[in-house]
């Protein structure tokens, strides 16, 4: 008996924080941490809805192929209990086809779980016959997910749950009674059977159709069409919705009802617990459409009509000829395993709701995006460390909107947000100040041209040009600005930034004016100085000439005296 846990493993690199698994989980047995979804094993029903719903293939079902192969290596006779839904999963296959293929893989013998179904439905008939004139409700015990749901989450319904083993358990008990040395392996569309096999002394291992298909493909084993003429096989109807009831003898004093799908089952169990119903047998299945729509019908085979048609065509008209075991050998006690939840005070819940941005009841949208039915349920999950505040889409949207609003509002530049039609969506205070806008709301939805020249924006959108810090003079507003235009085609928005440089431009003009005046004064001073210089130079020039003449004459006189 394999006691290894972790029936559904998370592939962390694939998990994208989409919340699909928690949305589909009927008991919210998933803890989100750092944006990753981890299954809470003690609360999980193994219904497989998270596995089916995951769009990123982030869930992986435990494989038990290797432990089965180990029995082959040990030369032990391994018997298969094959779920009747195989006829829907493997188109055109018969028990003879499957027996041939499975023996090629190494199995010793192959029998139909429908044999165990015949035993179980007969025991249900006996219980109804023994109940007397006035009885309450009897819920079928064929579905291990429903059995665990009642034991873990709705123990008040335990008195109504039939204390009868599942068809797989009944069949494997029969096999081991007849072949004490046998190793039994159930193969079917149900993940929960893996846990049932871990708990059972009679079911040694459980494989899914997914595992079987991969195994056959790896070994190159092909299914061959072999006709089946077994007329005594009505219990093959068990995996269909209403299948159990279609095989049973109906006591006229009783009503017979089928309920499938976890949402319907939860409501039905709530109704049953009230204790107001009498003489009602309820066939209950966790999967909507019953086992032929199980989570590992070669995952994602969503063909309920074809699946039901295949089973209806394959089932016989009469029961298998089976010796009915003693009632005590079919007894299965269902224990009260109710999960004791930690009490969360109302004050703590309200505080958490405030952290989620739910400051009043009208802000509790109960949209279900996070996976929880109500905002209050989500708050309780946060308090239990099972959920995170940022799993709330409205909260994230409001937070992002608030964040963007703050950025726009307190931006040191004017900001105009447009849609692709150049219609104004948002203006900040600086933009209103630049363009003397008194009531910005009057402009929302209006064309940009009503307040600003749209040509630079059109160039960016249509011509794929870049406009960054382009100087502009807004004559109507007597403002100098530097305009930057950003177009995000992914989000279909255009953002215009206007940096008001009017004061800088005035300062620059002032500096230019001062500089120009200074130059003029300097030029005038220079001109005056040049005139003075020229006059001095003129005077100096005459004196120098006269000195030169005098010196020349002196030189000549001295030469003569020599």
Section 369-388 average pLDDT = 86
d(CA 202, CA 200): 5
pLDDT tens for each residue of 449-473: 999 999 999 989 888 887 899 999 9
Among 93-107, 524-538, 546-560, the least confident range: 546-560
Q: How confident is the model at residue 6 (pLDDT cuts 50, 70, 90)?
A: confident
94, 98, 99, 101: CA torsion to nearest 10: 140
Is the predicted pLDDT of residue 541 greater than 80, yes or no?
no
pLDDT at 299 over 70: no
CA distance 511 to 519: 12
Q: What is the pLDDT of residue 142?
A: 97
For residues 287 and 265, give the distance between their C-alpha atoms in angstroms, rounded to a whole number: 10
Please tell me the predicted confidence (pLDDT) of residue 303.
Answer: 85
pLDDT score at 398? 64
Position of tokens 């089932």?
315
Q: Which residue has the higher pLDDT, 361 or 340?
A: 361
In terms of pTM, does the model score above 0.85? no
pLDDT over 50 (residue 1): no
Q: Facing residues of 331 across strands?
A: 164
Q: Which residue has the higher pLDDT, 402 or 493?
A: 493
Per cent of the chain over pLDDT 70 is: 89
> Tell me: the pLDDT tens digits for 46-58?
999 999 999 999 9
How far apart are the C-alpha atoms of 56 and 18, rounded to whole Å? 9
User: Which residues have C-beta within 8 Å of that of residue 316, sequence separation ≥ 6?
Assistant: 230, 231, 232, 233, 234, 236
pLDDT tens by residue, 548-558: 565 556 555 55
Reading the block at residue 87, the tokens are 């006829």
Mean pLDDT over 176-182 rounds to 97
* Mean pLDDT score, 143-148: 98
In order of 196, 523, 531, the CA distances from 527 in angstroms are 111, 6, 6
List, for residues 184-224, the tens digit of each pLDDT value: 999 999 999 999 999 999 999 999 999 999 999 999 999 99
Confidence of residue 369 (pLDDT cuts 50, 70, 90): confident
Instruction: Report whether pLDDT(241) > 70.
Output: yes
* The predicted structure's pLDDT at residue 3: 38
Residue 12 has pLDDT above 60, yes or no: yes
- Cα distances from 413 to residues 408, 423, 434, 496, in angstroms, run 9, 20, 10, 10
| Cα distance between residue 183 and residue 2, in whole Å | 13
Q: Which of 152-156, 248-252, 366-370 has the lowest mean pLDDT?
A: 366-370
Question: Is the pLDDT confidence value at 406 over 90?
Answer: no
């Amino acid at each position: 008996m394999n006691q290894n846990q972790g029936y559904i493993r998370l592939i962390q690199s694939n998990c994208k924080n989409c919340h699909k698994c928690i949305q589909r989980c009927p008991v919210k047995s998933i803890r989100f941490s750092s944006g990753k979804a981890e299954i809470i094993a003690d609360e999980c029903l193994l219904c497989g809805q998270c596995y089916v719903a995951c769009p990123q293939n982030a869930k992986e079902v435990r494989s038990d192929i290797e432990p089965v192969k180990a029995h082959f290596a040990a030369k032990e006779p391994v018997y298969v209990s094959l779920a009747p839904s195989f006829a829907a999963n493997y188109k055109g296959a018969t028990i003879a086809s499957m027996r041939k293929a499975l023996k090629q893989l190494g199995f010793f013998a192959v029998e139909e779980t429908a044999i165990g179904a015949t035993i179980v439905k007969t025991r249900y008939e006996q219980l109804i016959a023994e109940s007397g004139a006035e009885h309450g409700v009897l819920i079928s015990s064929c579905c291990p997910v429903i059995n665990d749901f009642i034991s873990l989450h709705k123990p008040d319904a335990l008195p109504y749950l039939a204390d009868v083993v599942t068809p797989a358990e009944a069949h494997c008990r029969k096999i081991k009674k007849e072949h004490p040395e046998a190793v039994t392996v159930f193969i079917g569309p149900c993940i929960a059977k893996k846990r049932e096999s871990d708990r059972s002394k009679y079911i040694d291992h459980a494989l899914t159709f997914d595992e079987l298909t991969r195994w056959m493909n790896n070994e190159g084993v092909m299914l061959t069409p072999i006709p089946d003429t077994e007329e005594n096989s009505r219990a093959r109807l068990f995996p269909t919705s209403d299948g159990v009831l279609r095989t049973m003898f109906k006591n006229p004093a009783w009503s017979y009802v089928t309920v499938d799908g976890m949402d319907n089952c939860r409501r039905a169990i709530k109704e049953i617990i009230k204790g107001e119903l009498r003489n009602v047998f309820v066939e209950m299945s966790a999967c909507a459409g019953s086992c032929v729509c199980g989570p590992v019908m070669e995952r994602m085979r969503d063909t309920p009509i074809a699946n039901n048609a295949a089973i209806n065509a394959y089932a016989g008209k009469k029961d298998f000829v089976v010796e009915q075991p003693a009632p005590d050998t079919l007894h299965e006690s269902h224990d009260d395993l109710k999960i004791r939840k930690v009490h969360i005070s109302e004050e703590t819940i309200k505080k958490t709701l405030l952290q989620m941005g739910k400051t009043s009841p009208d802000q509790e949208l109960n949209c279900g995006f996070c996976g929880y039915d109500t905002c209050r349920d989500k708050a309780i999950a946060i308090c239990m460390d099972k959920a995170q505040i940022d799993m709330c889409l409205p909260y994230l949207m409001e937070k992002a909107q608030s964040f963007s609003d703050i950025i726009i509002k307190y931006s040191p530049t004017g900001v105009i947000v447009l849609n692709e039609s150049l219609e104004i969506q948002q203006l900040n205070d600086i933009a209103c100040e630049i363009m003397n806008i008194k009531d910005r709301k009057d402009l929302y939805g209006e064309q940009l041209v009503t307040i600003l020249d749209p040509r630079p924006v059109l160039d960016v959108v249509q011509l794929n040009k870049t406009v960054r810090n382009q100087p502009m003079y807004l004559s109507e507003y007597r403002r100098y600005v530097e305009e930057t235009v950003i177009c995000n085609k992914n989000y279909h928005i255009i953002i215009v930034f206007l940096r008001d440089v009017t004061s800088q431009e005035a300062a620059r003009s002032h500096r230019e004016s001062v500089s120009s005046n200074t130059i003029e004064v300097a030029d005038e001073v220079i001109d005056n100085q040049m005139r003075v210089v020229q006059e001095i130079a003129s005077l100096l020039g005459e004196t120098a000439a006269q000195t030169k003449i005098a010196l020349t004459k002196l030189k000549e006189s001295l030469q003569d005296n020599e």
